[in-house]
Amino acid sequence: MYKKFDTEIAVRPNEIDINRHVHQSVYFDYVLFARWDQMRRCYKMPMEEFFKRGYSWATKSASFEFHKPLHLGDTAVVRTWIREVKQKSVRVCFQILRKETGEITTEGEFIYVLINARTGRPEVIPEDVVRKYSV
């Protein structure tokens, strides 16, 4: 139903753990960076626009399934798409692929909740935002 978008991220030396692959906590950052990039580039509504309107997004939950590790020298392709929009939340699915081979290294989903920056409470997602992100 929703379009998938890709963001490329080069694996950096500081992301490597003692097992000589990307530490599992870095995958969380990869998805967050990709969403930030895609909000601006693909949806044409960057995070700064939410800030101006008095909103922010908070992670309610995140799940990851790790299949194959990424290593130094790899380029990660972070593919995300919206699976479901509810009144106050959005379910975003993702896959992280190794660009060099196309194989899926990690996949999962996040649930993000729209937050009113003034109150810190969840807020109903405005209809114009739902339309903008329904591509």
Q: Is the pLDDT of residue 2 over 80?
A: yes
What confidence tens digit (pLDDT) does each residue in 21-30 have?
Answer: 999 999 999 9
- Domain limits for position 103: 5-133
DSSP 13: G
Please state, in angstroms and as integers, the Cα–Cα distance from residue 121 to each residue in 32, 57, 58, 68, 114, following that order: 21, 11, 10, 37, 8
Task: Give the integer Cα–Cα distance in Å for 49 and 89.
Answer: 18
Model-wide pTM > 0.85: yes
Length of the chain: 135
- The count of structural domains within the chain is 1
Question: What is the rounded CA–CA span in Å between residue 100 and residue 120?
Answer: 42
pLDDT score of 1: 77
Pairwise CA distance, residues 28 & 62, whole Å: 8
Among 93, 67, 56, smallest CA distance to 78 is for 93
What's at 118, amino acid-wise?
A: R
* CATH number for the domain that contains residue 79: 3.10.129.10
Give the separation between CA 95 and CA 106, rounded to whole angstroms: 6
Tens-place pLDDT, residues 9-59: 999 999 999 999 999 999 999 999 999 999 999 999 999 999 999 999 999
